[in-house]
Amino acid sequence: MRPLAHASAGTPPGRRLPDASGGAERHLTCAQSRDAAGPRDICYTNSMRDGETELDMIKRHVQDGVRHIAKQRALIDRLRRHGLPTDQAEALLVNFELIQRQHQDHLSRIEARDDMSL
């Protein structure tokens, strides 16, 4: 995940922008954070690996998201068992879940597009 320094509030999901290093355009994913500081956009780019198709990349992101969410839930459980605050961990989990929904929606759109092209 490579953050975009120039992504601004209200940047729509799926927008294409040059990455922060000035390289080629990359797909931009945005989700709105809901933390104590108030709403803000979290945006990042996704890069395909060598030999990876767009569908492969999206499936990888969905799988990675499942793992991130499971690890974050386990962390929250551990914090609770030890009587520690969970506010920040729970806010991060909400962000992970928002991003995961975007990945799943993206996967559905790409699969539908590929099905129509057959």
Same domain, 65 and 117: yes
Buried b (16+ CB within 10 A) or exposed e, 40-73: eeebbbbeeeeeeeeeebbbebeeebeebeeebe
Structurally, the chain folds into a number of domains equal to: 2
Shared domain check, 67 and 114: yes
* Full pLDDT tens readout for the chain, 118 residues: 444 434 444 555 555 455 454 554 555 566 666 666 666 666 655 677 778 888 899 999 999 999 999 999 999 999 999 999 999 999 999 999 999 999 999 999 999 988 787 6
* 1 plus 23 within the same structural domain: yes
Same domain? 102 vs 56: yes
Q: Are residues 55 and 107 in the same domain?
A: yes
One domain, residues 95 and 57: yes
CA distance 100 to 69: 9
Q: In sequence order, what are the residues at sequence separation of 6 or more whose Cβ sits closer than 8 angstroms to the Cβ of residue 57?
A: 46, 47, 48, 49
Tokens of residue 25, six digits: 């355009």
- Kindly state whether residues 1 and 27 are assigned to the same domain: yes
Residue span of the structural domain in which 24 resides: 1-47
Q: Starting at the earlier edge strand, list the strands of the sheet with 16-18.
A: 2-3, 38-46, 25-35, 16-18
Residue 50: predicted pLDDT: 78
How far is the CA of 35 from the CAs of 26, 41, 92, 118, in angstroms? 27, 11, 8, 44
Q: Both 3 and 61 in a single domain?
A: no
Predicted pLDDT of residue 80 = 98
Per DSSP (E only), the strands in 4-106 are 16-18, 25-35, 38-46
Same domain membership, residue 76 and residue 18: no
| 0.75 surpassed by pTM | no
Both 77 and 56 in a single domain? yes
Residue-level pLDDT at 117 = 74
For residue 49, give the 3-state DSSP assignment: coil
